[in-house]
Structure 1
């Protein structure tokens, strides 16, 4: 359905039909009217009668506790804790969700409050943005309600003010009291890290699996690498550690205490040469997910690298990638993210990518591609999508601006069933679809909305930027009513 707001952006989306899931009680117009016209409320006897009647009749009380708990937990799941949360979010909140706070559950009814307070796992994830004094008692409450469960913590100090720095230091000291419960931490500080962070003791992080520690430095506080290393030594000494995200300049020194062989998820965001990266990869046989930022390709030949466990590869590159693809073998690769800067991807790189997949005996299932939204590379996008080893893609995300050429290539023709591009595609996301001919986008979506021959039905279509036209708008609205999940952001 079409959901409109007061802003310039609109969203065309489908919604979960709650009415078919559970019946909601109707509010009598007489009671609503009483409040609207200044009615002072019912008597005590009327209140008791109404409360008893509602508690017996309200269908919401018939939801099984187990299902209610699952619904509560699902409301708190957000993909990105840094996502802009807007003015609707309270300035002081520990909720990991952009749109939902478990603190409100206890305000709905007594039953919901009992369920929420009986679920320690509901309080184990905390996200604190722009620390304020109000976060201190709130954090203490969350720590108490989480019981003894492992904690997932996100703390973002985005200001160097003395007040925020002081509050951040107290918050970290409070969180340190539960360091033995830390399972995942993501700490990001502006300027010098809080002093409480350096009071961690060796062996205190007995459950830590994932660690991110970043500092955003000014020119006056840039050289804090050696200081942070004392914290990283404690983190690296944890035998349960599997995922790490280091500061970009921290990796320049390449400390010897990094436990490369026990890590399964590595983010090398420092701008390193391929020579350094390949030297490191030889020491990471158990890596499952790898993110690298490659600044330059060295002219010297590399020793080939086999990463037997790698499933997801993310490369942000400022140089040609074919010399890298030519030296890699990835027997388990299924997901690839490519971010190309400065120069469009070349045919040589595409050929090397396909060769990598052939030598690894793998077909990609997920692809994220971004070449800086250049309008001149649409033919390169089509060429990439036609690579034989991408024919089994189920999930495609194109950040680059696409035009008629890409949309037409993704359109399936029943009379040419053997020539379908990406026949098993189920999830399609396009970052920028401006400038397409009216009717093409709707035609493409319609051609994939029904499964036939060897074509799998498209389940989700998302577009983040589009200059809407009425022809495609009506088609997409009809497809959404027929069951295709569509999310489109556009300007009018």
Structure 2
């Protein structure tokens, strides 16, 4: 049987993998004309396209066109021509399905002017086509500039939306009124559960121009590009019974001393995952952690650590340990970008004994001795329990900087031996970046180990 003779059901599954599996990456070379890129695709890094499938033969064309899931995830990248508009319209038509209600995921990224006049009319046509399908919107992601505001006005007349579950917005040079109107339209959906805000929204949060629009008490996932500790706590206090995941790319500015008593203490009953990408100099995690109790917390990510200032770093660790103890939670995944040797002693706390996934990204290679000391600590066995003394439940480990592959292998062997004849080590995967002249990654998959 040849590929052209496969049953439609099997062919459909192959097509779905072809379009939506993403092991590849499209590299955008800004030195090359953008017209060489496919501006309408499934994802920003797509190298596969369902239009290609429809061009092979009549049978493949019939199958591809009959599968709305191949077309219902659309990434529109810097639209600039009528050809882009027609391709976008084609995808919308084929994504609708037989009854015209198939859920739609849209990502639309507007072209940046870079000081030059840009063709916004074609972009406006794409927005108009997208709004015509508002009843199918499931997920919407937008990167917008100020000259796009008029194109969204028809959306305000058709709201409320009924099926939108998630939106992400990044604005640049939008006026506050336009920004509020668009966010109000998105937040009109009773199905809304996930929101991501860019920097422009944070500026409006400071003036309470947006905060009273967002249904914080219905959201399960929140993400911010920039946020201040005081606003973070206030938002959390409005979503304490629903929020499960929150991420902040940059936590900025210290909490004013004279207003600290105005910020409530908050118990987040369902929060499972908490990520703070970067804590800007002048702010520190204790301003947030001291106000929280997180009994359901399972994942905590601090990839750039607390701060380079020793005193604030110590305060951050103390605040974190107090949070874990106060919350009585069982933390399973932890990422901390701390290059100081004191991190080992903090990690030896019984509060981390339930960890199954540990990530230690190292910022400065000259402090890679932290990784070596951690490997030694992970190798220690507890004779009374016949298991490793540190992180006995650890399944995956990532170290970005080590000097010796042998030290990693010795640690793995030591943890296996620590169990004696009464069980197997739970460690299943180790990833380490080895630095000794030439860099390479050590990947150890231990699932098939005796």
TM range (shorter): 0.7 to 0.9
Deviations 1:442-462 (A, max 9, x none): 555676799964521323626
Tell me which of 1, 11, 16 is aligned to 1:72: 16
- The within-5 A match list for 1:392-411 is 392-401=354-363, 403-410=368-375
Shift in alpha-carbon separation, 1:109–1:426, aligned structure 2, 3 A = farther
Does the CA-based 8 Å contact 2:166-2:195 persist in structure 1?
yes
Tell me which of 41, 44, 47 is aligned to 1:94: 41
The CA deviation at 1:289 is 1.5
CA distance in 2 between counterparts of 1:264 and 1:342 reads 32
Q: Does 1:368 align with 2:335?
A: yes
1:424 match: 393
Does the CA-based 8 Å contact 1:65-1:115 persist in structure 2?
no
Does the CA-based 8 Å contact 1:184-1:209 persist in structure 2?
yes
Shift in alpha-carbon separation, 1:211–1:99, aligned structure 2, 3 A = closer
2:429 match: 459
1:85 match: 27
- Pick which of 258-267 and 296-305 moved more: 296-305
1:144 match: 93
The CA deviation at 1:175 is 0.8
Shift in alpha-carbon separation, 1:324–1:414, aligned structure 2, 3 A = closer
Q: Does 1:322 align with 2:264?
A: no
Number of equivalences: 408
Tell me which of 251, 257, 261 is aligned to 2:205: 251
CA distance in 2 between counterparts of 1:326 and 1:306 reads 11
Shift in alpha-carbon separation, 1:361–1:446, aligned structure 2, 3 A = same
The CA deviation at 1:191 is 4.1
- Pick which of 316-325 and 410-419 moved more: 410-419
Shift in alpha-carbon separation, 1:97–1:231, aligned structure 2, 3 A = closer
Q: Secondary structure at the match of 1:346?
A: helix
1:311 match: 272
Shift in alpha-carbon separation, 1:459–1:116, aligned structure 2, 3 A = farther
Does the CA-based 8 Å contact 1:172-1:194 persist in structure 2?
no
1:23 match: none
Shift in alpha-carbon separation, 1:162–1:306, aligned structure 2, 3 A = same
CA distance in 2 between counterparts of 1:391 and 1:107 reads 56
Which one scores higher on RCO, CA 8 angstroms, separation ≥ 6? Answer: 1
Q: Secondary structure at the match of 2:171?
A: strand
CA distance in 2 between counterparts of 1:125 and 1:348 reads 45
CA distance in 2 between counterparts of 1:449 and 1:158 reads 54
2:321 match: 354
Shift in alpha-carbon separation, 1:447–1:404, aligned structure 2, 3 A = farther
The CA deviation at 1:415 is 5.7
TM-score (structure 1 length as normaliser): 0.71
Tell me which of 57, 64, 75 is aligned to 1:127: 75
CA distance in 1 between counterparts of 2:238 and 2:18 reads 38
1:14 match: none
The CA deviation at 1:63 is 8.1
Tell me which of 374, 378, 381 is aligned to 2:340: 378
Shift in alpha-carbon separation, 1:97–1:236, aligned structure 2, 3 A = closer
CA distance in 1 between counterparts of 2:204 and 2:140 reads 18
CA distance in 2 between counterparts of 1:226 and 1:244 reads 19
Deviations 1:218-275 (A, max 9, x none): xxxxx61222111112222221222222333131222322222112222344442x33
1:262 match: 218
Shift in alpha-carbon separation, 1:482–1:281, aligned structure 2, 3 A = closer
Q: Output the aligned Cα RMSD.
A: 3.7
Tell me which of 165, 186, 191 is aligned to 1:240: 191
- Pick which of 394-403 and 254-263 moved more: 394-403
Q: Secondary structure at the match of 1:183?
A: strand
CA distance in 2 between counterparts of 1:426 and 1:198 reads 51
The CA deviation at 1:290 is 2.0
TM-score (structure 2 length as normaliser): 0.77
Shift in alpha-carbon separation, 1:449–1:128, aligned structure 2, 3 A = farther
Shift in alpha-carbon separation, 1:231–1:108, aligned structure 2, 3 A = same
Deviations 1:105-142 (A, max 9, x none): 34566665444333211211111222232321221111
Shift in alpha-carbon separation, 1:99–1:180, aligned structure 2, 3 A = closer
Does the CA-based 8 Å contact 1:153-1:185 persist in structure 2?
yes
CA distance in 1 between counterparts of 2:8 and 2:414 reads 41
Deviations 1:374-418 (A, max 9, x none): xxx331443443332223223333333361331441365386553
- Pick which of 68-77 and 358-367 moved more: 68-77
